[in-house]
Amino acid sequence: MLRFIQKLTVAIVLRVVHAALIELMQLDSRAKQEFERLPEDMSYAIATGHGAPTLFVRWRGGKLERLASLDNAVCTLAVKSLPLSFQLFTGQMGLAQAYARHAFTLKGDVADVMKLARLVNLTESYLFPPFITRHILTDIPRLEVNPLRVYGRIACGFLCNRYKLTH
């Protein structure tokens, strides 16, 4: 039962993170700059443990597409277990802490993970309250917009089916 709850939570947070990245591309100048610097067709796979969900995203044509699967992601980050993913995606452990604790393996260039890490850190600073981000982020980025605005846009995005899979 616990594993089912963890899987479900991780799956929901992955969807929200993807949505937040899309919204922050519009709302935060640093996120916009990070995306603009990504090469066309840059792709990430984030696997969250055995039998647990994987997020596949690809940067193409100025959009962050979510894909059902991707055979050869440029960069694959595989968290070593579902409980570790649960900690990572529920604000109990930051990406830097996950790295320090050998919580994931990586296939690809470390530099590509650093780009993703900055985007995820920025996303977390909007999605989590400061009492959480203080524990999981080395430095808390200055917020350029009110987090409620980000949450509002994400809610609208889900209602309008803006984050659907790209085929």
Tell me which residues touch another protein (CB under 8 A): 76, 78, 95-97, 99-102, 104-111, 113-115, 117-118, 121, 137-139
- Residue 49: helix, strand or coil by DSSP? coil
> What is the nearest approach in angstroms of another protein to the Cβ of residue 5?
22
The answer to whether the CB of 40 falls within 8 A of the CB of 11 is: no
Please, which residue, 15 or 115, has the CB nearer to another protein?
115
Please, which residue, 100 or 156, has the CB nearer to another protein?
100
Q: Give the integer Cα–Cα distance in Å for 50 and 69.
A: 16
> What is the nearest approach in angstroms of another protein to the Cβ of residue 109?
6
Q: Give the closest residue to 89 by CA, choosing from 50, 46, 130.
A: 46
Please, which residue, 109 or 144, has the CB nearer to another protein?
109
> What is the nearest approach in angstroms of another protein to the Cβ of residue 53?
20
Please, which residue, 35 or 104, has the CB nearer to another protein?
104
Q: Give the closest residue to 55 by CA, choosing from 149, 140, 151, 120.
A: 120
Amino acid occupying residue 117: A
> What is the nearest approach in angstroms of another protein to the Cβ of residue 153?
25
Who's near 22: CB < 8 A, 6+ residues apart? 64, 157, 162, 163
> What is the nearest approach in angstroms of another protein to the Cβ of residue 99?
5
Q: Give the integer Cα–Cα distance in Å for 141 and 43.
A: 25
Please, which residue, 49 or 154, has the CB nearer to another protein?
49
